[in-house]
Amino acid sequence: MTRTPREVWDHIASTELRGTPLEALRRERGGVPIEPVYFGEDGAVPGVEPYTRGVRATMYANRPWTIRQYAGFSTAEESNRFYRRALDKGQKGLSVAFDLATHRGYDSDHPRVAGDVGKAGVAIDTVEDMKTLFEGIPLDAVSVSMTMNGAVIPVLAMFIVAADEQGIGPEALSGTIQNDILKEFMVRNTYIYPPEPSMRIVGDVIGYCSEHMPRFNSISISGYHMHEAGATAVQELAYTLADGIDYVRTARGRGLAIDSFAPRLSFFFGIGMDFFTEIAKLRAARTLWSDIMTGLGASDPRSKMLRTHCQTSGVSLTEQDPLNNVVRTAYEALAAVLGGTQSLHTNSFDEAIALPTETSSRIARNTQLILQHETAVTDVVDPLGGSYYVEALTEQLVVEARALIAEIEADGGMTRAVQSGAPKRAIEEVAARRQALIDRGDAVIVGVNRYRLETEDGVDALEIDTAKVRAGQIERIGAVRRARNEENCAFALNALREYAAMNEGNLLEAAIAAARARATLGEISQAMEDVFGRYDATQSMISGVYADQYAGDPEFAAARERTDTFAQRHGRKPAILIAKMGQDGHDRGAKVIATAFADIGFAVEMGALFETPQEVAAQADALGVDAVGVSSLAAGHKALVPELVAALKARELGDLAVFVGGVIPSGDYDFLREHGVTEIFGPGTNVLDAAFTVLDRIEGRLTNR
């Protein structure tokens, strides 16, 4: 006898509710009785393969999504205080943001990270830092998500040891480690080792968690950073799921049966302002992953469920009229919820200006609480299911993403594609095209290229004293090193090094022993770097995309005429070096500027990622450029830019024009100008306007020589 969709849903929902009567899910709103689920003509059922309508039959009607705010504030002590307050005020899970030094496997005392310690997240150097981070937080009851990829081995090892020393074994820990290295090579760039050993690390983490941490997600396959880099919805879907395919292959290559680890795989998507497309994207992702895992041989239904965390878009936030960002974040959060996310982070309105304050973080968290408690969106499973528009968008995304995945697979899979650089170039082209549309006003951004305020009120910005934080971290590292048994520590680090060299054993297991012996994060990372080496990506630049979007535009033509005139007068193009200093790997802004300026007629040189100010100055000297453009997104500008200006002066290049662009509080502008910066371009700056300004300063410099 064939069951109706209602009967199928009733059966699954009853199982999920574990004895609670189905009647408990029914609601009444405005005098109208509300059923927990509605069925269309296609009979699609939530909680049933391919899970288009949701991975659980009851979804939020039974239990709302997890509010999981991503946060880390300079020191473990300060972050711990923030986490405990957030949990007291309704947050259900923790999501740890680490500083860039930690991401890149450096201890806080390393000379390359002087401007990065405690910026954009919490500094973790030792097990003692990790214990402080979670002091007073019941790790067997609170799930912990950690956005960590490059230094995943030492960070997860320290988390496991810290929990164990607080009386909680690995089997009781719940949460997620991101452990998604392919997208780092593609867009985010906080990698450490080359691709091949990095994929080995992914497999070792999945293997260890599969055996010892049954409640813990061993990988969060992330499209979010592709979204932030400018990827289309189709690209984000296809590249993310193709990454997932290669991770499954890697784990199976370790001898793991697919259904032994696949139920603990999770995903992470960005949610932007294209409201209905973002809803359809999550529905399409679930459909595609179910089909993919069936094709790979999974039989456990949990292996085929795409469970995802979502984060509202950072790139949609604007420096101009920043309170508009509260509204943007609310719409994006609603899209994530209507799309069926399992957990959600909402960005703070001030993140295009600086690190979020406690006030802005509270507004971001309350955005989710209001959605859960005041809007009634939790009453019904997949409320847009059956909408002709959403269903058509879902199917269109499925078809187009499936075709792109097939292309990637035909060329050897995502690891090979990432090594070729093709996905990165494709995303950069889209990002450049999008920026041109904004600059032309064809894509309207309220408060930026239309409906601008004549004057704007400032907002309070969080200030991190990097020097003070770093000094404290260095002191704590010294205390740990003085107290530890050096012989035991050296033995554990040598064992880790041998595991890496012999391609035997589990690297995470060896790192846990090293962390227990109080090896620092940098020492554990260096032990593997001694064998694997540190990866240096080759920077490349696309061309022609920005110019194509501006074909026939008189303002663009005027800019080209300016650079042509310059070239005729000086026998060369105006030359600019685009630099990324410190450990911030987010290079979307730098790549967009480089592409646009090259199309306008500049001779553009792209510096390497992760350079020191002294290295940038040396490169500027060797290239003989007219200007240096510094891209800064991680709050290191007050430490790194003055150091760059000093390094240029030491090379007798004190008159070289230095421009800074990115996430910079307006309150820092005077400081930067006093330290020799020529001009500052915040988020939302029109690229053509910036090009005219740079040309003016370069011509003025040459005239005054």
User: What is the spatial distance between Cα 434 and Cα 452, in angstroms, rounded to a whole number?
Assistant: 20
How far, in Å, CA of 225 to CA of 188, rounded?
6
Residues β-bridged to residue 146: 96, 177
**What is the distance, to the nearest Å, from the Cα of residue 269 to the centroid of all Cα atoms in its chain?**
9
Number of H helices, E strands in the chain: 28, 17
Count other C-beta atoms under 10 Å from residue 434's C-beta.
Answer: 17
For 207-267, give the DSSP string.
HHHHHH-TTEESEEEE-HHHHHHT--HHHHHHHHHHHHHHHHHHHHHTT--HHHHGGGEEE
Q: How many residues does this entry show for the chain?
A: 705
Distance CA 640, CA 580 (A): 10
Q: 315 and 230 in contact (C-beta within 8 Å)?
A: yes
A 10 A CB-CB count for 563 gives: 18
CA gap 292, 301 in Å, rounded? 13
Q: Give the residue numbers annotated as catalytic, written as ranges.
A: 70, 224-225, 580, 584, 586
Residue with tokens 């259900």: 92
**Residue that is written with structure tokens 């020492």 in the block:** 523
Contacts of 9 by beta carbon, 8 Å cutoff, 6+ apart: 37, 39, 45, 46, 47, 57
Residue 196, Cβ density class (10 Å: 0-12 exposed, 13-18 middle, ≥19 buried): exposed
- The SS3 call for residue 444 is coil
How far apart are alpha carbons 556 and 535 in whole angstroms?
38
